[in-house]
């Protein structure tokens, strides 16, 4: 499959961030326009749950998860616009 052949490499140190994104993406609200962003409160709750408490680490995780969420939302909106 061409999509699998073009799959980006996931760096080992980012696997935990990817796994976190996979877990918290189910908390994503959905509105009339489709998927919405993952609430900051859900990201913070996840970080609390897994024991990430220092400010610098929380900021890094939050930034990475928001960036992933932005990419997801852009792809979702593009897909919805092409189907409608």
Whether the CB-CB separation of 36 and 72 falls below 8 Å is answered with no
In angstroms and rounded to an integer, the radius of gyration of the C-alpha atoms of the chain is 14
Whether the CB-CB separation of 26 and 73 falls below 8 Å is answered with no
H helices, E strands: number in the chain: 4, 2
pLDDT averages per 10-residue partition of the chain, 84 residues: 71 94 91 88 96 97 96 87 66
User: Residue 66: exposed, middle, or buried by beta-carbon count in 10 A (0-12, 13-18, 19+)?
Assistant: middle
- For residue 58, what are its two tokens? 């929380």
Supply the pLDDT for residue 7: 74
């Amino acid at each position: 499959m061409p999509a699998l052949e073009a799959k980006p490499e996931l760096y080992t140190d980012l696997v935990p961030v990817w796994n976190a994104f996979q877990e918290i993406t189910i908390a994503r609200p959905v509105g009339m326009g489709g998927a919405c962003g993952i609430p900051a409160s859900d990201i913070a709750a996840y970080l609390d749950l897994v024991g990430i408490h220092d400010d610098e680490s929380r900021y890094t995780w939050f930034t990475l998860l928001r960036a992933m969420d932005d990419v997801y939302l852009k792809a979702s909106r593009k897909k919805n616009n092409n189907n409608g």
